[in-house]
């Protein structure tokens, strides 16, 4: 492997060489501490045969480490200045760069396109802060098999993943990630290991898909969960009637599941949503 890209010296040299300066609108804060990208790559990849998908490679601080550990890395980047830099500076036969807004990517189709039979698929990213939540929703809603997701995010956003029912931060994403994954913290990351330095610290979390639940028509379950949280101040009954477009049906569904009509969605645990869905499957689907 060439010299690490994740140093302030190399980052500035690359920026000078290609005349690319960081764009705030793309959430560009590059990692400048080699140990951090090594640890993320070590956690993200369990075996070189895994298909690794990175979101937002930037100038390649993490990508370089991924390419050293996997035979196939696909990196989706929105900024048209980056693919040329990545190919020139990393020069790895393992790397494929796709110039595309990840929010427009059909993740199921891309996995079908690139994944070899029985090949585990892993995602990793130093996430652009401004789209952390939509990217994670997108990955948790993917139907094709994913093994694990290892992502860096703003510390406060990371703390929300630990929210329990009745906590202020508990929301649809809390229910949906638990339905799909187990989650643990890989490490805390100081704001001082980024260029430019953001005004928040970060955390790296890992989500391991557990395949514990197998609901029929899973996408309907996920959209029902989202529907129950649409208006946080309203009761689950109010939200469910809007989602189902039927007041009486919403009442019957909640009664059948043993959930009081004046409950709020953020008081309900994952098992409550699963029960609500399962006992009313015929009416909801």
Q: Provide the binding-site residues for ligand SAM, judged by CB under 6 A.
A: 26-31, 55-58, 61-62, 76-79, 101-103, 126, 128, 131
Taking the C-alpha atoms of residue 209 and residue 211, their distance in angstroms, rounded to an integer, is 6
By beta carbon distance, the residue nearest ligand SAM is: 56
Is 96 marked as a binding-site residue?
Answer: no
Pairing relationship of beta strands 148-154 and 121-126 according to DSSP bridges: parallel
To ligand SAM, the closest distance from the beta carbon of 44 in angstroms equals 12
Partners of residue 270 on adjacent β-strands: none
To ligand SAM, the closest distance from the beta carbon of 185 in angstroms equals 18
Would you give the DSSP letter of residue 267? G
To ligand SAM, the closest distance from the beta carbon of 250 in angstroms equals 36
Contact 50, 119 (CB under 8 A): yes
Is 158 marked as a binding-site residue?
Answer: no
To ligand SAM, the closest distance from the beta carbon of 62 in angstroms equals 5
Is 89 marked as a binding-site residue?
Answer: no
Select 62 or 257, whichever has its Cβ closest to ligand SAM. Answer: 62
Contact 144, 113 (CB under 8 A): no
Taking the C-alpha atoms of residue 96 and residue 240, their distance in angstroms, rounded to an integer, is 44
**281 alpha carbon, distance to own chain's centre:** 28
Is 29 marked as a binding-site residue?
Answer: yes
C-alpha dist (Å) from residue 273 to 13, 108, 145, 240, 266: 52, 25, 23, 12, 11
Is 31 marked as a binding-site residue?
Answer: yes
Select 58 or 158, whichever has its Cβ closest to ligand SAM. Answer: 58
| Binding residue positions for S-adenosyl-L-methionine | 29, 31, 56, 77, 101, 126
């Amino acid at each position: 492997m060439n010299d690490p890209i994740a140093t302030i010296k190399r980052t500035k040299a690359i920026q000078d060489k290609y005349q690319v300066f960081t764009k705030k609108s793309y959430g560009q804060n590059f990692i400048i501490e080699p140990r951090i990208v090594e640890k993320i790559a070590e956690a993200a990849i369990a075996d070189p045969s895994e298909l690794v998908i990175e979101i937002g490679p930037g100038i390649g601080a993490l990508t370089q480490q991924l390419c050293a550990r996997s035979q196939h890395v696909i990196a989706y980047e929105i900024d048209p200045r980056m693919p040329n830099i990545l190919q020139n500076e990393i020069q790895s036969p393992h790397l494929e760069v796709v110039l595309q807004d990840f929010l427009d990517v059909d993740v199921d189709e891309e996995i079908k396109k690139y994944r070899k039979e029985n090949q585990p698929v892993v995602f990793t990213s130093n996430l652009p802060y401004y789209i952390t939540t939509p990217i994670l929703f997108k990955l948790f809603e993917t139907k094709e098999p994913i093994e694990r997701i290892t992502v860096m995010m703003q510390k406060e956003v990371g703390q929300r993943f630990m929210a329990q029912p009745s906590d202020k931060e508990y929301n649809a994403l809390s229910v949906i990630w638990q339905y799909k994954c187990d989650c643990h913290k890989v490490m805390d990351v100081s704001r001082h290991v980024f260029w430019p330095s953001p005004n928040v610290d970060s955390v790296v979390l890992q989500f391991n898909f557990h395949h514990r639940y197998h609901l029929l028509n899973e996408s309907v379950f996920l959209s029902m969960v989202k529907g129950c949280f649409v208006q946080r101040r309203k009761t689950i009954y109010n939200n469910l009637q809007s989602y189902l477009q039927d007041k009486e049906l919403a009442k019957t569904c909640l009664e059948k599941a043993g959930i009081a009509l004046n409950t709020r969605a953020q008081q309900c645990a994952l098992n409550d949503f699963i029960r609500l869905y399962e006992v009313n499957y015929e009416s909801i689907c």
